[in-house]
Structure 1
Amino acid sequence: MKIKEKLFNKRKEILLLITVIFIFLFLCELSLMVFPGILGPAVKNQFLTKYNTTEKGIYFTEENTGMRLMKPNFETTAYYNDYYWIHKTDSRGFRNNKEYQQADIILLGDSIIYGHGVNYEQTTGYFLEQQTDFKAYNMARQGDSAFEEKYLLKKYGKELNPKYVFYFFFENDITDLTILLTPKEMEYFVFEQDLNDFSFTQSKKKQGIKEFLFNKLLEKSKIALALYTIFVMHNQNVVYPEKPDVNSLEWQYEEKAIKQMKTFSDSINAEFIIVPLTKDEKQTQKLNEIAQQNQIPIIQTKELMFNEQYRLKNDRHLNEEGHKKLSEILTNYLNKKT
């Protein structure tokens, strides 16, 4: 009897321990849901961001290509770094406040041109239409680099039939290529792929069962997401690669992609223009060289990029005044053309 009683008590202890752990984890999950900022701004960003492919996120994965695209005709309230804004897309999945059958201008870029942190009426595309007689189509998305942008230009450029294609380069675009593509994929594009061939592969996008389950855990558990975010914060050098040198394979990819977008723009009778959005002098010099070698117009933005009054506080993206200033720079260029 004593042995049975001991076993019974032991099971009770184990059950009690499991119950306490379950209640503790439940309370932690509940606390993180109610107070998402309790562990700091970085964790709060990960809790509330819509920059993902979850049910509430703004993205989905295109089945035949694996390309991450924004959901068409989708509206939600987005969040990052204590900024909230309305995210609303058109039927193609881009952030425009109306449908365009044709556009005079296409804007290619990342989150800066997309309008991270501000509402549509505070973006470069909106101000550009107010300051000119042109219809400006915002094709920019958070996280995009030349890899995605050349694909999007090819996919939608011909039907939009623009007069101008503005290609906005941000300083992290090169690092994005390192994260997105393997060296073999970049080498194939740089040394073998024809300028008129826009096909691509992304081996890094293939997801095994472990990665799938891990991503699901991050999606469903606030605790897991918080721990992962804290790990990333303390291991930046492991998770994020260093900025590639201007003579790197990534820069060779960038140059070839620019040539490809220029060639395609020429084929639809559109002028392709480079607009650097970087403080990095070496990057600016490299882009100037690429522009000169390929007879591509380039618009300098130093007066914008080196002035903190045009940035969101505690965030490197443009504020409303920054978007307005960038639009003025573009408008000045367009006025000289007409």
Structure 2
Amino acid sequence: MKKIIQNTFLIFGSLLFCTMLFELGVRIFAEPEFDYTQASADESALWQYDAKLGWAMQPNGQCTFSRPEFSSEIQTNAFGLRDDDFSKEKAKDEFRILLLGDSVVAGFEVQRDGTMEAQLEKRLNRQLSGKKIQVINAGVRGYGTDQELLYLLERGMALQPDIVVLGFVPANDLENNVTVHTAGRIFSKPCFVFDEAGHIALRGIPVPDYDLQKQIYSAVMPQRPEPVAAADGNQNALKVFLSKKLRSYAFVARRLKTAPPEFVGWLKKRGILHNSLPPEQVDFYRFPLNDDWTARWKITLAIIEQMHAFCIKNETDFLLWSFPQKEQIYSRDRVIFTRSFAVDDDELDFDQPEKKLRTFARQNKMQYVETAAGFRHRAKSGERFHFITDHHLNENGHRLMAEILATHITKKTINELK
């Protein structure tokens, strides 16, 4: 027994010594890695409570938004939008495009002039003459399609857009549209449900407060056990602690994420490397869809249909585009995804979201821009449009998105503008 204890102490002592030696080497020879304690803002940066929307961005606010791969200066205008100041009244020769969306459209991960809004505005003004083109960035981090509809109804249409462009992030928005409160978020949100006549009806106004760690779904979702939120919180706290105390932790963590995809998937499957996607995410690409994802799609498409109808009523064009996930674009990320969830590639249909949206748009005579194919084609050359450690678009991605949207908008509107 005494020998076992001695050997145990010897093993732990050796591991501790090697760790200290490695830490010393990293501090002396390696460039400093990103310190998560220095992340200058979280997803709720510039949020303020809004009784109708749940939250909105503060007017005339500013912050620095930093992560390992980027650092951006964020400013909002008098309307609480990440945009220049502008008059609510549209000039006679002005053509306005309103971009609705979540963090993908808000583009906190890039500088203001690198966002799809800024680049789309430059492209259209260069390609089209005779009128001034203004693109308004109404993207808000954390928003679901339901909040984007409410924003359009309450405030967006008052800005007199000629085209409303909805940026839809299927995997993310489908979840947000059936959620009343996401565990860990400082504010809750309203939601839409179906009434007895089968129409969508708004619930939860004014938006109440909920326990910070409660995950609460709307009535459209099948009953399910409540997920435990504490685990993610503890994991994030541990990450911050290790990042603060051990420079070697950040050194290793950063390089693991760029390791061979099979190895990264293996680590995520066993919980050694954090998998930011919930286990149910794999079912998003299965066919047929289970009851949970069917419920998400049903309410979401009804919300988009309502948005489209409102635009028609106000004689405003409506354009829908979908955001491509990394596993839909890059072979490396697809391998990581399938290995993480221990599934074979042929068990999933990664084009299913676009197929569903394409059919929906055709049935409702709606303009729809499918972006995944364009991103995949350009990615074959090795170009990267998403960040490695973050699922958002980098500046290349915003530029390509602006290019795709500009091509479609130009073809559809050039005769009207002339």
Q: 1:252 aligns with which of 285, 298, 316?
A: 298
Change (3 A) 1:321 1:236: closer
TM alignment of 1:227-238, pairs within 5 A: 227=238
The Cα offsets for residues 278-298 of structure 1, whole Å up to 9 and x where unpaired, read as 234111111111101111011
The Cα offsets for residues 226-247 of structure 1, whole Å up to 9 and x where unpaired, read as 14979xx889899946235386
The answer on 1:104 being equivalent to 2:124 is no
Contact kept, 8 Å, 1:66 with 1:205, in 2: the verdict is no
CA–CA distance in 1 between the matches of 2:210 and 2:135? 37
Structure 1 unaligned residues grouped into runs of 5+ = 1-39, 212-217
Greater displacement, 294-303 / 239-248: 239-248
The Cα offsets for residues 180-206 of structure 1, whole Å up to 9 and x where unpaired, read as 469xx86733765746x6x43279953
Q: Which residue of 1 aligns with 2:149?
A: 150
TM alignment of 1:1-338, pairs within 5 A: 44=36, 48=39, 50-53=41-44, 57-62=45-50, 64-65=51-52, 67-101=54-88, 102=90, 104-132=96-124, 133-171=132-170, 172-180=172-180, 188-189=193-194, 192=197, 194=199, 199-201=202-204, 206-208=209-211, 226-227=237-238, 240=278, 242-243=280-281, 245=289, 248-278=294-324, 279=328, 280-306=350-376, 307=379, 308-336=383-411, 337-338=413-414
CA–CA distance in 1 between the matches of 2:354 and 2:212? 42
Change (3 A) 1:209 1:277: closer
Contact kept, 8 Å, 2:59 with 2:78, in 1: the verdict is yes
Residue type of the alignment partner of 2:204: T
Secondary structure of the residue aligned to 2:41 is: coil
CA–CA distance in 1 between the matches of 2:394 and 2:352? 26
The Cα offsets for residues 300-324 of structure 1, whole Å up to 9 and x where unpaired, read as 2124443252223433322222212
CA–CA distance in 2 between the matches of 1:303 and 1:190? 37
CA–CA distance in 1 between the matches of 2:57 and 2:120? 23
Secondary structure of the residue aligned to 2:322 is: strand
Residue type of the alignment partner of 1:298: Y
Contact kept, 8 Å, 2:146 with 2:191, in 1: the verdict is no
Change (3 A) 1:162 1:248: same
Change (3 A) 1:66 1:265: closer
How far the C-alpha of 1:151 sits from its partner, in A, is 1.0
CA–CA distance in 2 between the matches of 1:123 and 1:59? 20
Residue type of the alignment partner of 2:122: Q
Contact kept, 8 Å, 1:107 with 1:140, in 2: the verdict is yes
How far the C-alpha of 1:209 sits from its partner, in A, is 9.1
CA–CA distance in 2 between the matches of 1:277 and 1:191? 33
Count of matched residue positions in the alignment of Structure 1 and Structure 2: 282
Contact kept, 8 Å, 2:40 with 2:66, in 1: the verdict is yes
Secondary structure of the residue aligned to 1:51 is: coil
Secondary structure of the residue aligned to 2:113 is: helix
Q: Which residue of 2 aligns with 1:7?
A: none
Contact kept, 8 Å, 1:111 with 1:143, in 2: the verdict is yes
Q: Which residue of 2 aligns with 1:16?
A: none
Secondary structure of the residue aligned to 1:295 is: coil
TM-score between the two structures when normalised by the length of structure 2: 0.58
CA–CA distance in 2 between the matches of 1:238 and 1:115? 20
CA–CA distance in 2 between the matches of 1:109 and 1:260? 16
CA–CA distance in 1 between the matches of 2:175 and 2:408? 29
CA–CA distance in 1 between the matches of 2:38 and 2:62? 19
Contact kept, 8 Å, 2:69 with 2:387, in 1: the verdict is no
Q: Which residue of 1 aligns with 2:260?
A: none
How far the C-alpha of 1:131 sits from its partner, in A, is 1.2
Contact kept, 8 Å, 2:53 with 2:147, in 1: the verdict is no
Q: Which residue of 1 aligns with 2:268?
A: none
Change (3 A) 1:305 1:225: same
Contact kept, 8 Å, 2:319 with 2:367, in 1: the verdict is yes
CA–CA distance in 2 between the matches of 1:47 and 1:333? 41
| Root-mean-square deviation over aligned CA pairs | 3.8
CA–CA distance in 1 between the matches of 2:174 and 2:273? 20
Identity, in percent, stands at: 22
